[in-house]
Amino acid sequence: MSSEEGLSSTIADWLYINSWWLLLPFIMLLVVAAFIVAFVLLLYMISPLISPKPLKLNGAHVVVTGGSSGIGKAIAIECYRQGAFITLVARDEAKLVQAKKEVEKFAINDKQVVLCTSVDVSSDYSQAQEKLGPVDMLVNCAGTSISGKFEEVEVDRFKKLMEVNYLGSVYPTRAVITTMKERRMGRIMFVSSQAGQIGMFGYTAYSPSKFALRGLAESLQMEIKPYNIYVTVAFPPDTDTPGFAEENKSKPLETKLISETAGVCQPDQVAKIIVRDAVQGNFNSSVGPDGYMLSALTCGMSPVTSITEGLQQIVTMGLFRTIALFYLGSFDSIVRRCMIQREQLKAADKTE
Ligand SMILES: NC(=O)C1=CN([C@@H]2O[C@H](COP(=O)(O)OP(=O)(O)OC[C@H]3O[C@@H](n4cnc5c(N)ncnc54)[C@H](OP(=O)(O)O)[C@@H]3O)[C@@H](O)[C@H]2O)C=CC1
Ligand SMILES: CCCCCCCCCCCCCCCC(=O)[C@@H](N)CO
């Protein structure tokens, strides 16, 4: 027997004896796949248990702070169109009366009413509790924005934004929560911003006040879930409102250029999405593809309200982080280019 023959017969013997071992990795793979499929099916079977029952807006009482303008007014209209009773809360009485008239145009039955109360949500709110009566859904939308470089924003503006955007959501929520817990039902909505998911140039005062809402929402949701009350945090992009127009008058170029990435939305489009998510009891409400990516990417330890949402987060997170790194690179280069341009302008001014 030549040495070549010997070698091939050894391999054949080896293959014959051990061939089924070769299949082992495939068998294991099949078993793992079967387990995953069974697990996902099981999750879907129990999903009705973790998804809240949708809120019936028809006949419900919805309170909207910041309801006299922009996104808040659009939310009020969207709820009114679905048969809700509305209370609008803001400071300026004339604007409130005007908004009330606009909302009333969308009535679907003659029992519906729109009330308004002039309250500054950033100062204590406890007296308002009795006036309001039972509330099915509270929309915390009153808010304002200030942009500018960190050292150029006056110190008291940092405080003001926390008072209006953050504490202005705490006080109204405190006013309605006890009754909601007693009735074992309700929805609380916080209108944050995409700038509450990503810290960016020009928003050193604004972003923290919007990030804070997310922390409040997560903590509160864990407390009140057993009472069948669901919290929604909305993270809209730039939206075409009077507030946005005002903000644009003094917005740094960098902030404008970076924000443009996510585009500008219309308030009624934003309101539709937010109201749908609040009715369904979704914790997270995002607008547009960038909003979707940002929410999946920054979900952290936030509560999950559907199996599909959880699975999507698991599958997409790594991919979205990869995309985010490119975005961050482009934002850094916007900031660097603007800085160089400013310095060149300054130098040119000096030589003149
Ligand atoms: N527009 C945008 O690009 C985006 C906005 N957002 C957020 O959405 C919310 C609404 O924004 P937008 O519609 O643009 O704003 P607007 O400026 O158009 O409207 C703000 C509303 O809040 C009320 N409000 C402001 N301060 C107080 C206060 N202290 N007490 C009671 N009511 C108050 C205003 O009425 P009054 O002044 O009479 O009190 C008005 O009704 C804000 O929280 C904002 O941060 C988030 C992402 C994007
Ligand atoms: C995978 C990762 C995707 C990343 C996408 C990043 C997009 C960032 C855009 C940030 C826009 C911030 C808008 C703030 C609007 C606002 O709150 C003010 N206009 C209020 O008046």
Catalytic residues: 192, 206, 210
Residue 342: how many CA atoms within 13 Å on its side-chain side? 9
Does residue 317 surpass a pLDDT of 70? yes
pLDDT, one tens digit per residue, over 31-49 is 999 999 998 888 877 776 6
Does residue 8 surpass a pLDDT of 50? yes
Give the ipTM: 0.98
Ligand 2: centre distance to CA 88 (Å): 27
pLDDT, one tens digit per residue, over 55-70 is 999 999 999 999 999 9
pLDDT, one tens digit per residue, over 105-161 is 999 999 999 999 999 999 866 656 666 779 999 999 999 999 999 999 999 999 999
| Ligand 1 pocket member 197 (CB < 6 A) | no
| Cα gap 206→148, rounded to integer Å | 10
For residue 306, give both structure tokens. 């559907």
| Cα gap 52→70, rounded to integer Å | 29
| Ligand 1 pocket member 148 (CB < 6 A) | no
Q: Residues of the chain with pLDDT > 90: what percent?
A: 82
Per-residue confidence (pLDDT) for residue 1, from 0 to 100: 44
Residues 205-215: what's their mean pLDDT? 98
Residues in the chain: 352
| Out of 4-18, 119-133, 183-197, 306-320, least confident range | 4-18
| Cα gap 248→237, rounded to integer Å | 14
166 neighbors 89 (Cβ within 8 angstroms)? no
Confidence grade of residue 11 (pLDDT, cut at 50, 70, 90):
low
| Cα gap 188→137, rounded to integer Å | 6
Does residue 7 surpass a pLDDT of 80? no
Per-residue confidence (pLDDT) for residue 236, from 0 to 100: 98
Rounded to two decimals, the pTM is: 0.90
Ligand 1: centre distance to CA 83 (Å): 24
Per-residue confidence (pLDDT) for residue 16, from 0 to 100: 62
Ligand 2: centre distance to CA 183 (Å): 37
Which class for 158: exposed (0-12), middle (13-18), buried (19 or more C-beta within 10 A)?
middle
